[in-house]
């Protein structure tokens, strides 16, 4: 069983030609609200990926914004442990999505900030605890330590990045970051390879946008080039990757296979507007993967893998002759 402990936000999304620069006003177009929040998005991604029952610990306000967030999680089949705040509003996020599918997000945490160390439900039956950093870091640390003490795998998506206590990092089994977060965590501006080698966590996964993703487990490295899609909105794509990865690991898939599943789910999430609304089901990911060129085809698959290795600072490998 997977337990996600994290945030839920109602996303207020406006599309615009570009993301405003400091001091600039941009005329946007259509406006919509979507269920979001990194914790809730990742829980929905776990549940839609299938393979393991998923629960979430979250905090919501006593307001109308909470209703669509609960509904989206319930529709995805996520079990809910809700801390209800009477004096803080439900979390909200204000998102501008540009015509080139980039986004800028500001979060007003509200009730998310009330989730405390004492709120962790029983971990009986839980094999994987998945967390992010939109709830207080003291709570994330307490949950990680409790999980570690009970033999639960601790997975941390260190987003949004912030300085982390050493005792938290020491309790993490799998760390998932993007390129910027990796540099911050490693306190290093060198290559992806150098940053991955500096971190003491047993397994570190870094997502690299259109390049793909790379992981280090012990001294082994894994490379998965990105699936090609026409992006519309990348909001929630990283969360989809995290949820799909943990779901695959929870059902016993090897890391290499889980990374491919997660990459495919994350790529598909870029093709729809919104966070939870864009997260694909297991069947949609399977259909998408069937459309891809065979792994047996050494090119372009091999060329993409070499490009990814080069991007990460690894020497390119000899291509075996056919």
What amino acid positions are annotated as catalytic residues? 239
The single residue among 43, 56, 93, 156 that binds ligand RIB, judged by CB under 6 A, is 93
Among candidates 269, 284, 276, which has minimal Cα distance to 234? 269
Q: Is 41 in the site for ligand RIB (CB under 6 A)?
A: yes
Q: Is 96 in the site for ligand RIB (CB under 6 A)?
A: no
Q: How far is CA 314 from CA 140, 189, 190, 193, 219, in A?
A: 33, 16, 12, 7, 13
Strand stretches in 170-209, DSSP E: 174-178, 203-207
Cα-Cα-Cα-Cα dihedral sign, residues 294, 297, 303, 309: positive
Q: Is 78 in the site for ligand RIB (CB under 6 A)?
A: no
Residue closer to ligand RIB by CB (options 126, 205) is 205
Window 104-143: contact mask with ligand RIB (x via CB under 6 A):
-x-x--------------------------x---------
The single residue among 6, 36, 51, 61 that binds ligand RIB, judged by CB under 6 A, is 36
Cβ atoms of residues 209 and 226 within 8 Å: yes
| DSSP strand pairing (31-36 vs 212-217) | unpaired
Chain residues 5-34 in contact with ligand RIB, contact rule CB under 6 A: 7, 9, 11
Residue closer to ligand RIB by CB (options 58, 199) is 58
Element (H, E) at 59: strand 54-61
Q: Residue 41: which residues within 8 A CB-CB, separation 6 or more?
A: 236, 239, 240, 243, 275, 276, 279
Residue closer to ligand RIB by CB (options 6, 51) is 6
User: Which of these segments, 36-44, 60-68, 185-193, 293-301, binds ligand RIB (CB under 6 A)?
Assistant: 36-44
Q: Is 90 in the site for ligand RIB (CB under 6 A)?
A: no
Q: Residue 267: which residues within 8 A CB-CB, separation 6 or more?
A: 226, 227, 228, 229, 237, 288
Residue closer to ligand RIB by CB (options 94, 221) is 94
The single residue among 3, 4, 38, 143 that binds ligand RIB, judged by CB under 6 A, is 38
Q: Is 173 in the site for ligand RIB (CB under 6 A)?
A: no
Helix axis angle for 282-290 and 38-49, nearest 10°, is 70
- Locate 306 and state its tokens: 């070499």
DSSP letter at 314? P
Residue closer to ligand RIB by CB (options 80, 105) is 105
Residues in contact with ligand RIB by CB under 6 A are: 7, 9, 11, 36-38, 41, 93, 105, 107, 134, 235-236, 238-239, 275
């Amino acid at each position: 069983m997977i337990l996600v402990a994290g945030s839920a936000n109602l996303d207020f999304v406006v599309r615009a030609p570009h993301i405003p620069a400091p001091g600039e006003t941009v005329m946007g177009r259509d406006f919509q609200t979507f269920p979001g929040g990194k914790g809730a998005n990742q829980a929905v991604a776990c549940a839609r990926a299938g393979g393991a029952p998923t629960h979430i610990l979250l905090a919501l306000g006593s307001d109308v914004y909470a209703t669509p967030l609960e509904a989206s999680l319930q529709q995805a089949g996520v079990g809910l442990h809700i801390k209800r705040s009477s004096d803080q509003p439900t979390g909200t996020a204000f998102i501008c999505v540009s015509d080139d599918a980039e986004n800028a997000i500001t979060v007003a945490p509200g009730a998310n900030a009330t989730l405390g160390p004492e709120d962790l439900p029983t971990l009986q039956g839980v094999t994987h605890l998945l967390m992010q950093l939109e709830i207080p870091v003291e709570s994330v640390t307490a949950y990680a330590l409790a999980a570690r003490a009970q033999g639960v795998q601790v997975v941390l998506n260190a987003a949004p990045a912030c300085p982390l206590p050493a005792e938290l990092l020491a309790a993490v089994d799998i760390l998932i970051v993007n390129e910027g977060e990796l540099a911050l965590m490693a306190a290093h501006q060198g290559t992806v390879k150098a940053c991955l080698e500096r971190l003491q966590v047993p397994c570190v996964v870094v997502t690299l946008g259109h390049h793909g993703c790379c992981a280090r487990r012990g001294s082994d490295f894994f490379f998965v080039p990105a699936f090609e899609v026409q992006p519309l909105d990348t909001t929630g794509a990283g969360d989809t990757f995290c949820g799909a990865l943990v779901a695959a690991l929870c059902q016993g898939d090897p890391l290499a296979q889980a990374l491919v599943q997660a990459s495919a789910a994350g790529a598909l999430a870029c093709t729809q507007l919104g966070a939870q609304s864009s997260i694909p089901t297991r069947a949609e990911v399977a259909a998408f993967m069937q459309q891809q060129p065979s792994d047996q085809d050494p090119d372009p698959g091999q060329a993409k893998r070499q490009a990814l290795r080069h991007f990460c600072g690894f020497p390119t490998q000899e291509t075996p002759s056919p």
